[in-house]
Amino acid sequence: MVNCAKCNGQAALKRPKNGDALCRSCFFDAFEREIHATIVGNDLFVRGDSVAIGASGGKDSTVLAHVLNLLNERHDYGVKLVLLSIDEGITGYRDDSLEAVKRNKLEYGLPLEILTYKELYGWTMDEIVAKIGLKNNCTFCGVFRRQALDRGAWKLGVNKVATGHNADDIAETVLMNVLRGDIARLQRCTQIVTGQEGMLPRCKPLKYTYEKEIVMYAHFKKLDYFSTECIYSPNAYRGH
């Protein structure tokens, strides 16, 4: 038996971030305190903000919704939280993951807005792929999704969007931009807040949070999320 480094109880995991062996309770405490420190240290929110959480139904956005809802109450941020989901129209993937988002809406008592590619652009992602084939699908989808989040945020009347991008995502993006020689994106891809120059800033409260710890937090907390990979993502440059 390995003892917890904080309370000397039985450890449940070894943190990949710093190697500490922690029990579940001490891990939850450390995980939540670190995200709170990220929010406060980077002035991500101010009292009176209305924040849309980009909710896909996956582990990252589910943990983000859970933790932001928890910390907002615990530390009295004074922030109004809403869930914003985009339905790209990917049969057998997004339709199922949105069911998890709907259950999260009920569990956390947060409003939910769902926008579809079909209503916004007249095309579903399945229809786009049928037209162009299995190439550059994630490039098309990424552009449409970012614009859809903006439109959804304006519709909800929020002044900020929070996304579930984690430390692993950002590290991957840095590497991709180095390999592509994309200096412009390399300059901004590590920023914790983007879009300040416009009217709708986007922030990443999980910027310093490792993906493995997000998975362990969701597992230990028994959070309800959807874990199937998008059927088009194996063709993405990020996956390669």
- What's the rounded mean pLDDT across residues 99-104? 94
**Closest to 27 in 3D by CA, of 44, 48, 49, 5:** 5
Burial of 239 (0-12, 13-18, 19+ CB in 10 A): exposed
Q: To 5 degrees, how large is the angle CA 220–CA 53–CA 184? A: 110
pLDDT confidence band for 4 (50 / 70 / 90)? very high
Q: Is 164 known as a binding-site position?
A: yes
Q: Is 56 known as a binding-site position?
A: yes
135 vs 128, residue with greater confidence: 128
Q: Is 171 known as a binding-site position?
A: no
In this prediction the pTM is 0.92
Q: Which CATH number fits domain 45-235: 1.10.10.10, 3.20.20.80, 3.30.365.10, 3.40.50.620?
A: 3.40.50.620
* Rounded Cα gap, residues 23 and 11, in angstroms: 4
Is the model's pLDDT at 188 over the cut of 70? yes
pLDDT in tens, 158-180: 999 999 999 999 999 999 999 98
Q: Which sequence spans correspond to the domains of the chain? A: 45-235
* Rounded Cα gap, residues 155 and 151, in angstroms: 6
Q: Is 184 known as a binding-site position?
A: no
Q: Is 54 known as a binding-site position?
A: yes
